A and B are shown apart, each in its own frame.
Chain A
Amino acid sequence: MTADWQPSASLATLQARERLMRATRAFFHARGVLEVDVPLVQSGANCDRGVVPMALDERYLITSPEHPLKRLLAAGYGDVWASCPCFRSGEQGQRHAPEFRMLEWYRCGFTLTQLITETVELLATLTELAADTECYSYRDAFRHHLDLDPMTASENELLAALDSNEREAVTNRLDCLDLLLSEHMQPHFAPDRWTVISDWPADQAAQARLLTDPADGAALAARFEVYRGRLELANGYHECCDADELSARLHAEGKAPERSSELRPDAHLAAAMRHGLPDCCGVALGFDRAVLLATGVSSLAETMAFDWNRA
């Protein structure tokens, strides 16, 4: 172990990190997507399931630049992207950090398929890996890896697929699905290509628009995630443009019973949504995880000049 004043990343990793950021800027510049800076402290909270914002002087540190970027879209500024530090309370581990860097961008008039392609292109450019991709719907991924339909399985069937020590920790159906995905499916994702999981259950829609499964009418969300092996890298939506529907979701999430204190939803986002969000798709990508993948270091701390424990 090195002393706490010393950096957590090697010089070579920081040089690689800087190259990746330059490549990102070139990627978006070539595609006419405008880079913008956004406030890191905002008056209303991001309200996402499982994400706990940090508070600062009655305001909130951003957990992603989603809200200011959407306000720019509503104001008619066109395709925009931001690279900024984000903050999520309590998220600390080998692949998590309470302070991390997010890349997020929005494309007007894109289909979700176009944005998935662009996301994999950026990841392939940054990591110098081939763009070979395997796409599954969330349902098909569960059927393929666990022989379970996540939309129709009973809670007992979901519990039976967990390890006995995991059963003691889960409190509801969504917990079961999260653990099955992260511990029983992600470890089996192909190590040598990108795995895309699309069409998530509607109760995990976050800010994505809703769809119905043509096979049986099940409620789905136009959402995707990109993984390399088990490493989750990006999360994107065909954005929900219905101001009332989104506001209802965010208010409900802000008051979710598992929160220790209620969150104040972002009134600026709500007003921008009422003004009108253009038809668009957006995606957020964990930049530090892309650096981890590109450099082969084993923990997120090693991608950062000074990680949380040395900050």
Chain B
Amino acid sequence: MGMINTNELKNGIKLIFNNEPYVALNVDFVKPGKGAAFYKIKVQNLLTGNVLDKTLRSGEKTESADVVDTDMEYLYYDGNDFVFMDTTSYEQVSITEKSVGNSKEFLLENMQCQVTLWNGQAIAVKLPNNVVMEVTYTEPAIKGDTQSRVMKDATLQTEAVVQVPTFIETGEKVIIDTRTREYLGRTKD
């Protein structure tokens, strides 16, 4: 993709450093009244999550990354890759297990996700913040305890293990925050 001038830098802009894509988390313009101007930026690697400090001289050109977020629906696992469908073009895309990363823990068929494409290649899958999952196994509930703050392990239909209150039974549906793995409630849906 193209080169951009430092004056186009802002939070959220996608850039290339050392051939890898980064997102700018913080952009600071630094300049003595009569002196050289610099941009001090904090950038996060979109592949590894590592955060770096960078300094660019004002007026310098820097490479922008062709990174776009696309709405996609998860269809199925074909034994090697996770197959998604672009909900606008209906085109199917295979995404490697590595790119899906931790998202696979809560990934269910027909789930609407946001897929990050870099130069057309999927590099990350972002799940909805909250998902509904069936509990496939948990220790039997303690009778009469519906208020308990004590938590126990529960295995979900994706085989992810999360913490739920002790009153939850096998077969119930629970709402999980995919960012924190937190139990948010149960549902009959």
Q: Which residues of A contact B (CB under 8 A)?
A: 48-51, 90-96, 163, 165-166, 168-171, 174-175, 177-179, 181-183, 204, 206, 225, 232, 235, 258, 260, 284, 286
Contact = CB atoms under 8 A, between A and B. Distances in A.
B55 A91 contact: no
A175 B57 contact: yes
Residue of A92, A93, A232, A235 with highest tally of chain B CB at under 10 A: A93
Contacts of A206: 34
B35 to A, nearest CB: 4
A182 B30 contact: yes
Given A90-B59, A92-B7, A169-B38, A50 B32 contact: yes
A179 B60 CA distance: 16
A48 B53 contact: no
5 contacts: A91-B29, A165-B55, A170-B57, A178-B38, A179-B38
Given A93-B28, A182-B32, A171 B57 contact: yes
A182 B30 CA distance: 7
A15 B131 CA distance: 49
A165 B7 contact: no
B53 A165 contact: yes
B184 interface: no
B7 A179 contact: no
A287 to B, nearest CB: 13
Interface string B17-33: 00000000000111111
A50 B37 contact: yes
Contacts of A163: 53, 55
B4 interface: no
Interface residues of B, number: 22
B33 A183 contact: no
Interface string B33-71: 111111010000000000011111111100000000000
Nearest to B5: A90
B31 A50 contact: yes
B57 A183 contact: no
B3 to A, nearest CB: 16
Contacts of A96: 29, 31
Residue of A166, A169, A232 with highest tally of chain B CB at under 10 A: A169
B36 to A, nearest CB: 5
Nearest to A258: B59
A165 B28 CA distance: 14
Given A163-B53, A182-B35, A182-B38, 10 more contacts: A50-B34, A50-B37, A90-B37, A165-B55, A168-B55, A169-B38, A169-B57, A179-B38, A181-B35, A284-B33
Contact of B29 (A94, A225, A260): A94
Contacts of A175: 36, 57
Nearest to B53: A165
Contact of A174 (B36, B53, B55): B36
A232 B33 CA distance: 8
Residue of B31, B52, B53, B56 with highest tally of chain A CB at under 10 A: B31
Contacts of B7: 90, 92
B55 A166 contact: yes
A91 B28 CA distance: 11
Contact of B31 (A48, A182, A260): A182
Contact of B35 (A49, A92, A94, A95): A49
Contacts of B37: 50, 90-91
A112 B21 CA distance: 51
B53 to A, nearest CB: 5
Nearest to A170: B57
Contacts of B31: 50, 91, 93, 96, 178, 182
Contacts of B34: 48-51, 204, 206, 235
Nearest to B56: A169
B59 A225 contact: no
Contacts of B30: 93, 179, 182-183
Contacts of A183: 30, 40
Nearest to B41: A165
B38 A235 contact: no
Return the 4 tightest CB-CB contacts between A and B, nearest first: A93-B29, A178-B35, A169-B55, A166-B55
A169 B36 CA distance: 11
Contacts of B29: 91-96
A51 B108 CA distance: 57
Interface in B55-100: 55-60
A181 B57 contact: no
A90 B30 CA distance: 12
A174 B35 contact: yes
Nearest to B29: A93
